[in-house]
Structure 1
Amino acid sequence: MDHSMGRRRLFIMDCLVLIMVALNIIEAATAATTFEVGGSLGWTVPPNTSYYATWASSKTFAVGDTLEFKWNSTHNVLEVMTKAEYDGCTKTNGPIWETSPVVTTVTAGTRYFICSIGTHCARGQKLAVTSVASANVPTTPPGSSASSFPTASVVLPAILSTIAISFIFVI
Structure 2
Amino acid sequence: MHAVFKYNPSMHNVVQVGEGDYNSCRVSGPSRTYTSGNDHIQLVRGGKAFFICSRPGHCQQGMKIAVTA
Scaled by the length of structure 1, the TM-score of the pair is 0.37
Runs of 4+ in 1 over 4 A off after TM superposition: none
Once residues 20 and 2 of structure 2 are traced to their aligned partners in structure 1, the CA distance between those partners, rounded to angstroms, is: 24
**1:84 CA drift (Å):** 1.6
Q: Which runs of 5+ in 1 are unaligned?
A: 1-64, 132-171
Q: Which runs of 5+ in 2 are unaligned?
A: none
Alignment of 1:110-129 (within 5 A): 110-129=48-67
1:67 aligned onto 2:3: yes
Q: How many residues align?
A: 66
Say which structure is richer in helix: 1
- Structure with higher Rg: it is 1
Which residue, 17, 20, 24 being the options, matches 1:88? 24
The higher-RCO structure (CA 8 Å, 6+ apart) is 2
Once residues 59 and 31 of structure 2 are traced to their aligned partners in structure 1, the CA distance between those partners, rounded to angstroms, is: 15
Once residues 104 and 78 of structure 1 are traced to their aligned partners in structure 2, the CA distance between those partners, rounded to angstroms, is: 11
Partner of 1:98: 35
Say which structure is richer in strand: 2
Alignment of 1:108-147 (within 5 A): 108=45, 109-131=47-69
Q: Percent identity?
A: 33
